[in-house]
Structure 1
Amino acid sequence: MLDIKWIREEPQAFDAALKRRGLEPLADAVLALDARHREIQAELQAIQTRRNESSKAIGEAKRKGEDAAGLMEEVSGLKQKMADAEETERRFGAELTELLSGIPNPPLAEIPDGPDETANVCLREHLAPTEFAFEPKEHYELGEALGFLDFEAAAKLSGSRFVVMRGQIARLHRALAQFMIDLHTTEHGYEEVAPPLLVRDHVLYGTGQLPKFEEDQFRTTSDHWLIPTAEVPLTNLVAGEILEAEALPLRVTALTPCFRSEAGSAGRDTRGMLRQHQFEKVEMVSIAKPEESLQELERMVGCAEEVLKRLGLPYRVMVLSAGDIGFGAAKTYDVEVWLPGQKAYREISSCSNCGDFQARRMKARYRPTGEKGTRFVHSLNGSGVAVGRCLIAVMENYQQGNGTIVVPEVLRPYMGGLEIIGDHG
C-alpha cells in the first residue's frame, strides 16, 4: 500500500514510477477520489460539530425554561444527515482503499529500466555451465527412466502439474529440503517457524496477493486460502505489531508446501516439475529497519547463493528491471541455476525488498530508539531455495551417461551415505 501523502505531494513522481512499470498515469484519478473523500470527511466533521453545539443549546434552553422544540428538530435532522454522510464517507473511503490496493510498489531508482525480463542485468556468475561428453537429458526423462518420477500417477490422482516422486528421488528431494533448512537455521541466523498452510483473507491482503491476484490462489470452502509461499504467514507474524528497534532485524525461515493455480501460465513449462500447482520451498523473511533493508537484501541473496555453492551448481544472479519486478517489490534479485537439459538458466530463488509497502497494509511498525513515535518496518522475502527446482538442477547437473545421478557430497549424510541414484550394480 502506498502512502497517500506521498501521492498528494509528489504526483509526478508517482506517475513516473508507474511508467517505469509500464503502467498508465493514475495520480489524477487517485487525487480526485482522495479530494472527494476528504471533502466528505470535512462535511461530516462540520455536521458533528453543529450537532454537538445544538445538543448543548438544547440543554441550556431547558435549564432556562425556554422552548427547545426548534433545536430538537434540528438535531433530529442532523442525526439523519450525519448517518447519510457517514455512509458516503465509508463508500468513498472503500473506493480509495480499493484503488490504492491495486497499485504496485514504486521501483527503487537504482534498478534498471526496461519493459520485462529482457532488461534484467546479470551481476555475477558462479561456475561455468556443466559440460558433458554426451547429450544431457531433462529431469523428467531421467526420473521416468529410473522409475522415480511418475507424472501419469499424479495425473490420475490430481490432474496436470503434479508429480509423484518415489524411492531414491523422493529421498533426494527430502534431503535437499532438510539440508537447506539446516543451513539457514544453524549458520545463517534464521529462526525456524512451522506456520499454518491455510490463512484468512487479511493475511493474503497484507502481503499483496489480494485483491489483485485472487485468481492465482487456491481457496477452500471454509474461506481459507492455501498459501502460495511461506512469505505470506511469516511476514504477517508482525502484522499489527509495534516492535522494539533492538529486535530488528527479525529473521525467520520455513520449509512448507506451496500452492499456486498458475492461472496465467497456460502452455508454459507443461513438461516435468518446473511449474506445478504444489511444490515445496524454503522461504526466508526478514523484518528490518528502513536504513538497513538494502544491506539485508544483499545478505539474503548471499544466503540463497550459499545453498547452490555447497551443492556445486552453476548459477548467476540477476537484478530485475522495473518492468519485471513483482507487485510488492521495490528491488529484486533472481538467482538462476543452470539446467543442462534445457541448456538455459532458470529462476530458483527470488529475493525482494518490499520497503514499507507490505508494512502499511499490515500496520507493522517499530519504535526507533530514543524517539516517541513509530515508523513502518521494511519487509524482505526470498527463496532459500525452491526445493523442486533444486532437485531438477541436481538431477540434470549430476547426471551420468548411463542415466544414473551422482549425489552431491553435501547431501550424502542425508541420504544414508548413498553416492549414486539408480545404480543397481
Structure 2
Amino acid sequence: MKPISRQTVDEVLQRLDIVDIGRTTIRQCVNVSHELEWISGEKFVHLEFGIPGMNACKVGLDAQKEALDNGAASVYPPSCGIHELKENGSRFIKAFVGVEISPEGIVPTVGSMQGCYNLLLECIQMNPEKDTVVYLNPGFPSHYVQAKVLGIKTRMFDLYDFRGDKFREKLEEVFRDGCVSAIVYSNPNNPSWVCLTEDELKSLGELCTKYDVIALEDMAYMCMDFRKDLSMPFLPPFQPTVARYTDNCVLMISASKIFSYAGERIAMVAISDKLYKREYLALRERYGIGRFGDNFSLTYLYVNSSSCSHSAQYAFAEMLGSAADGKYDFVGQMREYGRRAGKAKEIFLRHGFYIVYDKDLGEDVSDGFFFTIGYDGLTGSQLLLNLLRCGICAITLVATRSTREGIRVCVSLLNSEKDFSDLDERLGSFERLMMDENR
C-alpha cells in the first residue's frame, strides 16, 4: 500500500473535529480509519476495536432462539434478572473464580459498560462524604468518560510503577483521606495485559475493608492469562480476584469476549452477599430503598433500561451453565487470542518496534487479547498518525491514561493469514516512511 499523505490525514481529522489524535476515543479512531479506507480504496488493518474475532457461542444462540420461539420477546424481563441466569451465574463464579456469591447478587446488565456506569453512580451517592473514584491505569478509555459524564472526582496512578509491596503503599496513600468511594480496574489489565497477583489483590481487599472502598473488578478477560491453565471448572487454579479478601466488591463479567456474544449486549454484575444486603442511609433517604443490591436493580437499572434483553438473558444463562458443567470450554476457545498476539508481536518486533508493558513482575507479559507497542523517537500520537498513513489503525496509550508513549494493539480482528500478511506489509511501509522522513 502506498502511504496516504499527511495532508489527507489532517483533512480527515479536521472534518471529524478531532484536534488531537492521541486523545480520541475508540469509536472516533474507527471513524477516522473508515474515512481513510474510502479515500484510499484500501482496507485497513484494524487493531483499535475489541470486537470478538470468533463466532458467537452456539450454545447461547440456540438457547436465545428457543427463548424467542417461546415468547420471550413479548414479555418484560425481571429487573433483577431471570432465575436461570442468577443460578448459573452463581455456579459459574464458583467454578472459575472459586468464590461464593449467592444467586440474589447476580444481576444482568446491558454489557459491563452499563453495569460499571450504574455502579459508579450508586457508589458516589451512597455516602455523601465519599465523592472520589480511583482508577488503576492504564485502563479502558470509556471508564474515564463515564466518570466525566457523571461529574465524578477521580484519582489514578499507573499500576506498572507500583507493583508488589509498592502497590499496597500507593493504595494506602490514595485511600487515606477517606474520600474514595470505589476503585475500578480490569484483571488482566486492558491494555497492558499485566495481571494483579493474589498478594496484590489481598492488599487491595484489606485496604478496601479498612477504608470502606468498593472494588469494581472488571473481568472482561477472565481466565485469559494463558501462562496457567484456568480452564477446569471447580478446580484450582482459579481466576485471581479481590473477592477472596473483602466483602466490599462487585465483579463485572461480560459475555462479549469470553463467549463472543458482544452484539447482544449482555453481562452480569456479581455483588458480594454482604454488600448486597448492606444498608445505606443516604440511599434510603433518597430512594426509599436502603440495601445496596436492591437499589442497583430496582432504582438505577430500572430507570436506566428496565433490565436487559429477555432472550439474551436465556442465552447467557445457558452459556454460563454449560461452562460450569464442563460442556463448553470457553478458555480453550479464547487461547486463539494468545496465538494471534504471539504472532503479531513477532511481526512488530521484526520491524523495529518494542513492547511497552513487557514484564509482569519479572515474567514476560502473557500473550492475550491486547498488548502495547512503542517506536523509538515517536510519541503515541506521532506513531498513530504515521501508522494511519500506512493503513493501520489503533489507539494511543495516552487515551488509556498511561504515563508511557505508544499504542494499544488488539488482536481480535487478525482473523486470517492474509491479515497477518497485510500487517507485515504495512509495517514494512511504515519502516520505509520513517527512513525517508529521517534522511
Q: Give TM class, smaller chain.
A: under 0.3
Q: Normalized per residue, which structure has more strand?
A: 1
Q: Normalized per residue, which structure has more helix?
A: 2
TM-score (norm 2): 0.26
Greater length-normalized contact order (CA 8 Å, ≥ 6 residues apart): 2
Larger radius of gyration: 1
TM-score (norm 1): 0.26
